[in-house]
Amino acid sequence: MDMTLADVEKDIKTRLQQGATSRKSAMHTCVVATADCDLRVMVLREYCSETNRLRFHTDSRTPKVTAIAGNPSVAVLAYDQQGKVQIRMRGTARIEQDGPVADAAWAEATNFAKRCYLAQQAPSSAVPEPTSGLPQWAEGTNPADDEVAPARDNFAVLLIEIAQFDWLYLANEGHRRARITPGEDGAEPDRTWLVP
Ligand SMILES: Cc1cc2nc3c(=O)[nH]c(=O)nc-3n(C[C@H](O)[C@H](O)[C@H](O)COP(=O)(O)O)c2cc1C
């Protein structure tokens, strides 16, 4: 039996929620593209289906943060090879370094994850030799709370409000493609099938 557009919407929500909560999900990592034509793999940390907001974590000193400050338009790509589903998203990004969302995300992170934000020089700085960028003492350790505390200054959340989902399902008997445009302020989404 063929899917309905409501099924497609549900599939998008389920896959992104699984992506955010399960390391084993193919959509746990997404490709995030910024308006400067650069793109990078990032770990999906949260998907809120009510607000259609994605959360990622990053170092506030990275080039993507500067790119988003200049132009907040972004695209996100998620692909599940086994499920044969691609989800392309367009949205508007913002970086929050302070505030309740960033504080909660930091509080939830393990010290091992927090350690990444201890890099002494900004990510993307050119250096004469290969390096993790971490201070020597932090190499190969799971640091204590007080040791990772200074890393909070470099931590930020990247929040993306999704304005459009493009869903593609590959099937031998015929591919299927749909576009879902969430409504503003809780209005019904605009849903349409597309020729794949
Ligand atoms: C599997 C994987 C997961 C990654 N997850 C993140 C992430 O969650 N946040 C992040 O800022 N960078 C992550 N990166 C590194 C980025 O892809 C990128 O190299 C880095 O953030 C610098 O990006 P920029 O120079 O465009 O700012 C990840 C890379 C890989 C390969």
Nearest CA to ligand 1 atom 6: 42
- State the total domains in the chain: 1
Residue 147 has what pLDDT?
95
On average, the pLDDT of the chain sits at 96
Beta strands in the chain (DSSP E): 29-34, 39-43, 46-48, 53-59, 73-80, 85-96, 155-169, 176-181, 190-194
Residue partners of 44: CB distance under 8 A and separation at least 6: 16, 19, 20, 27, 28, 29, 30, 54, 55, 56, 78
**Is 176 inside any structural domain?**
yes
Per residue in 100-138, pLDDT (tens digit) is 999 999 999 999 999 999 999 999 999 999 999 999 999
Share above pLDDT 90 across residues of the chain, in percent, rounded to a whole number: 95
**Is 47 inside any structural domain?**
yes
Q: Is the pLDDT of residue 12 over 80?
A: yes
Q: How far is the CA of 64 from the centre of ligand 1 (A)?
A: 10
Q: Is the pLDDT of residue 1 over 60?
A: no
Q: Is the pLDDT of residue 21 over 80?
A: yes
Query: How far is CA 4 from each of CA 16, 26, 83, 151, 193, rounded to the nearest angstrom?
Result: 19, 23, 17, 47, 9
Q: How far is the CA of 59 from the centre of ligand 1 (A)?
A: 9
Locate the ligand 1 atom nearest the alpha carbon of residue 41 and give its number: 17
Q: How far is the CA of 87 from the centre of ligand 1 (A)?
A: 19
**Is 40 inside any structural domain?**
yes
Which protein residues are within 6 Å of ligand 1, measured from CB?
Answer: 29, 38, 40-43, 56-58, 62-64, 123-124
Q: Which residues constitute the domain of residue 55?
A: 5-108+154-194
Q: Is the pLDDT of residue 3 over 80?
A: yes
Q: Which helix (H) or strand (E) holds 104?
A: helix 100-108
**Is 134 inside any structural domain?**
no
